[in-house]
Structure 1
Amino acid sequence: MSTDHRGDAPRGSWPEDPPTTPASVGGRARPAGDLGEGPLGRITGTVYWFLIVGLLLVLSSLPSMVLLVLLDRASSNALLVPLCLVPAGPALSAALYALRDRGRAESLTPGRSFWKGYRLNALDVLRLWTPAMLVLGVIAFSVVNIGQVGVPRAYAVVLLVIGAGILLWALQALTIVSFYTFRARDVARLAIYYLVRLPLVTLGVLSLLVVAAAVVWLTSEGVLALFSVIWVWFLLNNARPLLRDVEQRFVAH
């Protein structure tokens, strides 16, 4: 198993990180920058960082949004809905990377952090995210059309549970590969391992998915996109125990 640590965070940075507020992402106050060292400067810097990362997250996810808008809401297109989300994988990974990088940045450069994360992670993310979306597409198509093939509808529940498990696995894998360089098959195994080993983290991801689905159901995809950076921040903080354990167990000292 490859154990190259992606990024320049010092060893032990995850165990020491206090995770309670956006201002403490990364575990340390942002070094003094153009906005000053006082409380107002730090708050302004945090808001600026989140705004820029959120904007870049939305912009880099535009291909997915456009495809979803253009896609006809017919049951025959259920296979294509998850495939439209393929471009969103690298964007989500880059946002995770940029939010964690805020605590280590020497100046207010959220755009640089975001695109660095995108460049480092995109190919590795796609190797795992794309197959997961393809399988989810097959499951979605099967669920939507299950009544037309004479299969008992109870099997739809089984398929939905499998689909939820695959989506949880995909997000765990994406989170790991956003910060560490492993072979794709090793990331796949680690994601499965941590689904069971850290049930509270898994439950946290599931809760975030439920919240995202509820926002889309009650409002629209646009509202979810507007607050997507906050969702990613919660995903990052929820993943701290997982990332800490990966670093302690599998990253070379």
Structure 2
Amino acid sequence: MSDVTHPDPPGPHVPGDLGHGALGRLTAVVYWFAVVTVLLAVAASPTIVLLLLLDRSAGNVLLVAVAAIPVGPALSAALYTMRDRERTGEADGELAPARSFVRGYRLGVADVLRVWVPALVVLGVIGTVLVNAGAAGVSGPYAVVLGVLAVAILTWALHAVAIATFFNFRTRDVARLATFYLGRFPVVSLGVVSLVVVAGAAVWVGTEVLLALVGGVWAWFWYRGDQRLLDDVRDRFTTAD
């Protein structure tokens, strides 16, 4: 495996110090999350538009999987930006979420797509089988197994995206590590499942636009929940410069 992480950018410099008081800190937090949410929505806009245009019918399951391709790199960039907020924004008050997001997207897009796209293909196939279970003669217990498998694959995919965002591992090593961490930290994996359920509920009850409006906060909870996993990857599988 590779033994380096993605290099950290130099500290961003943005005009306009918001101050160090309570109001300044609150304003900085709101500004940061607002910018990340907007950029995340823009990066995932092809998915949002396609999902709004598609009918919620069984025949569109594979199309939904294809439409979700832009989401992986967008989430990766949001994760990268959340790390930068902790490392620079909170430390010295400098605010450059847009610059951080663009850098994170550029650094991670290729590695993320190598794990994200195959996972979506498998999820699309499983989803197609599940929505056509009756016509395909799929029994109840088998459908349950497929549902559990789909949740595991989506959790694996999000673990893989997080690892690919912050580490320069080969694709097969990212896949192996994501599989390893599915069971190593069950609480982390359950946290990811919970976030997936929240996202699914937001889309089901409201619309894809509702989920886009809280995307930055969702990404922050994901980053914080995966912190233990990322720290363990760094300690176990990388070496200090």
TM over 0.5: yes
* Equivalent residue number for residue 113 of structure 2: 126
Give the secondary structure class of the aligned counterpart of 2:87. coil
* Equivalent residue number for residue 151 of structure 2: 164
* Equivalent residue number for residue 54 of structure 2: 71
**Counterpart amino acid of residue 37 in structure 2:** G
Change (3 A) 1:184 1:82: same
Provide the TM-score with structure 1 as the length reference: 0.87
Alignment partners' CA distance in 2, 1:37 and 1:7: 28
Please give the residue correspondences for 1:1-253 in structure 2 after superposition, counting only pairs within 5 Å: 1-8=1-8, 34-105=17-88, 107-253=94-240
* Equivalent residue number for residue 22 of structure 1: none
* CA deviation profile, 1:115-145 (whole Å, cap 9, x unmatched): 0000000010000000000100000111111
Q: Quick check: 2:129–2:136 contact (8 Å CA) kept in 1?
A: no
Q: Quick check: 2:188–2:229 contact (8 Å CA) kept in 1?
A: yes
Alignment partners' CA distance in 2, 1:215 and 1:70: 17
- The offset of 1:219, in angstroms, is 2.2
The structure that is helix-richer by fraction is: 2
Change (3 A) 1:32 1:60: closer
Q: Quick check: 1:129–1:174 contact (8 Å CA) kept in 2?
A: yes
Give the secondary structure class of the aligned counterpart of 2:190. helix
**Counterpart amino acid of residue 3 in structure 1:** D
- The offset of 1:220, in angstroms, is 2.2
**Counterpart amino acid of residue 144 in structure 2:** V
* CA deviation profile, 1:14-67 (whole Å, cap 9, x unmatched): xxxxxxxxxxxxxxxxx9962122222222112111110110000111000111
- The offset of 1:75, in angstroms, is 1.5
Give the secondary structure class of the aligned counterpart of 2:69. coil
Structure 1 spans left out of the alignment, 5+ residues: 10-30
Q: How many residues align?
A: 233
Change (3 A) 1:70 1:240: same
* CA deviation profile, 1:89-139 (whole Å, cap 9, x unmatched): 000000010011013336211100000000000010000000000100000
Alignment partners' CA distance in 2, 1:44 and 1:32: 15
Q: Quick check: 2:51–2:208 contact (8 Å CA) kept in 1?
A: no
Provide the TM-score with structure 2 as the length reference: 0.91
Alignment partners' CA distance in 1, 2:123 and 2:208: 19
The answer to which structure, 1 or 2, has the higher relative contact order (CA under 8 A, 6+ apart) is: 2
* Equivalent residue number for residue 26 of structure 1: none
**Counterpart amino acid of residue 163 in structure 1:** A
Q: Quick check: 2:73–2:108 contact (8 Å CA) kept in 1?
A: yes
- Percent identity, aligned pairs only, is 53
* CA deviation profile, 1:198-217 (whole Å, cap 9, x unmatched): 11101111111112222222
Q: Quick check: 1:147–1:153 contact (8 Å CA) kept in 2?
A: no
